Amino acid sequence: MPNAELTATITDAEWRVMRIVWTLGEADSHTIIDILSRQHDWKAATIKTLIGRLVKKGALGTTKDGRQYIYHPLIAEQAAMDTALTTELNQMCAMCRGKAFVHAIDETTLSQDDIRTLISHLQAKLTTAPTAVSCDCLPADYEGSC
Amino acid sequence: MPNAELTATITDAEWRVMRIVWTLGEADSHTIIDILSRQHDWKAATIKTLIGRLVKKGALGTTKDGRQYIYHPLIAEQAAMDTALTTELNQMCAMCRGKAFVHAIDETTLSQDDIRTLISHLQAKLTTAPTAVSCDCLPADYEGSC
DNA sequence: ACTCATCGTTTACAGTTGTAAACTGAATTT
DNA sequence: AAATTCAGTTTACAACTGTAAACGATGAGT
């Protein structure tokens, strides 16, 4: 059950490895290398490096299986995604986040269920939402807006 | 009018600089350094480096004003945010993006107008949305789901 | 004219990331 | 037992990042 708190961050390339292991639940390096060396054109050595780094930073755990290891996630996929997205958003101007969401949602394929969930969360939010969100890019003694 | 297509990416630290210039519309280095050296505890030299890199990579333009420069954005803030968010999302499993949105929206303060816009976009999307979005983490010949 | 304060540019340097070859030890084959 | 084959580990290396000191030119004050 993956749930550890990750110290380091997972890089873009490492993210590809995690997606394979998250989806399969667990995988040996042969499988990971087989899939990734086709998806991208990465050499086996490259993928081995990424796996090694993920183990070292605590994102993947290992179970010995004879000569080789079986890798499994130590962090949950949804939690990693949530954190990555929130971190990205928090870096942006608070005032502009809403429009960024609109754009992202327009660009993303979502299931009917996801859309209904989103609508209901948004409707609930509406009752307590502020009239406006102000720009937080400047210290208090400067004024301005995006 | 900022609109250029950016070749390189803007890093986290550089993003802080851009937010100042985006918000003020234009700024001299003294202003940028004044604000940022307080927000973080960056030395003036650090901020100068970041400004220089942003000019070199085409994110900031300059206008000479006597001995110094006035910096102005060459790329639009909303476009940069949209791209950053979409890029981040596209790196994740398609099946899990909806839940990531739900989490992000729960965590983000949005204005009533933003929420209404989001709801209306979502309602429009609902009519053509698929029943489910499947996992795209593996090649076709492997099966599996997040 | 000389000195001082600046502003922008150069140089610095360690850590991270992408990309991969080389090596090492154990298991499998002959 | 020797040779071969992998799986994992070490080493490599350039580019990018965060962080900053040092330097050089130019305008301002004396």
**What does the pLDDT look like over B99-113, one tens digit per residue?**
999 999 999 999 999
Region for residue B58 given its phi and psi (left: phi exceeds 0; alpha: psi -120 to 50; beta: otherwise): left
- For residue A83, tell me if it sits in a domain: yes
Residue A103 sits in the same domain as residue A66: no
Determine, for residues A109 and B101 on separate chains, whether the beta-carbon distance falls below 8 Å.
no
Question: Which residues have a Cβ under 8 Å from the Cβ of A91 and sit 6 or more positions away?
Answer: B12, B15
Residue A9 sits in the same domain as residue A32: yes
- For residue A138, tell me if it sits in a domain: no
- For residue B85, tell me if it sits in a domain: yes
Determine, for residues B23 and A138 on separate chains, whether the beta-carbon distance falls below 8 Å.
yes
pLDDT above 70 (res A145): no
Reported as a single tens digit per residue, the pLDDT across B125-139 is 999 999 999 999 999
CATH (domain of B8): 1.10.10.10
Name the residues in B59-118 having a C-beta closer than 7 Å to nucleic acid strand D: 66-67
Residue A84 sits in the same domain as residue A104: no
Residue A120 sits in the same domain as residue A52: no
pLDDT for the residue B60: 97
Reported as a single tens digit per residue, the pLDDT across A40-96 is 989 999 999 999 999 999 999 999 988 899 999 999 999 999 999 999 999 999 999
Structural domain of A22: 1-91
- For residue B135, tell me if it sits in a domain: no
pLDDT above 80 (res B63): yes
pLDDT for the residue A8: 75
Residue A68 sits in the same domain as residue A26: yes
Residue A20 sits in the same domain as residue A7: yes
Residue A74 sits in the same domain as residue A2: yes
Residue A85 sits in the same domain as residue A24: yes
Q: Which of B42, B73, B91 is the last residue of a domain?
A: B91
Closest-CA residue of A relative to B102 is: A118
pLDDT for the residue B50: 98
pLDDT for the residue A140: 83
Residue B63 sits in the same domain as residue B8: yes
Burial of A112 (0-12, 13-18, 19+ CB in 10 A): middle
Residue B20 sits in the same domain as residue B73: yes
Residue B52 sits in the same domain as residue B124: no
Determine, for residues A100 and B112 on separate chains, whether the beta-carbon distance falls below 8 Å.
no
For the record, the structure tokens of B130 come out as 């698929």
Q: What percent of chain B has pLDDT over 70?
A: 92
A57 touches strand D (CB under 7 A): no
Distance in Å from the first CA to the final CA of chain B: 43
**Number of domain units in chain A:** 2
Residue A117 sits in the same domain as residue A66: no
- Closest residue to C26 (CA to C1') is A67
How close is the nearest chain B Cα to the Cα of A74, in Å? 15
pLDDT above 60 (res A111): yes
Band the pLDDT of B7: cuts 50, 70, 90: low
How close is the nearest chain B Cα to the Cα of A145, in Å? 6
Q: What angle do CA A113, A1, A27 make, to 5 degrees?
A: 90
Name the residues in B10-29 having a C-beta closer than 7 Å to nucleic acid strand D: 11-14
How close is the nearest chain B Cα to the Cα of A47, in Å? 15
Q: Which residues of chain A does B144 touch, with a Cβ-Cβ cutoff of 8 Å?
A: 23-24
Helix axes B29-39, B44-56, angle to 10 degrees: 120
Report how far residue A117's alpha carbon sits from residue B118's, in angstroms, rounded to the nearest whole number: 13
pLDDT for the residue B119: 98
- For residue B143, tell me if it sits in a domain: no
- For residue A136, tell me if it sits in a domain: no
Report how far residue A65's alpha carbon sits from residue A29's, in angstroms, rounded to the nearest whole number: 12
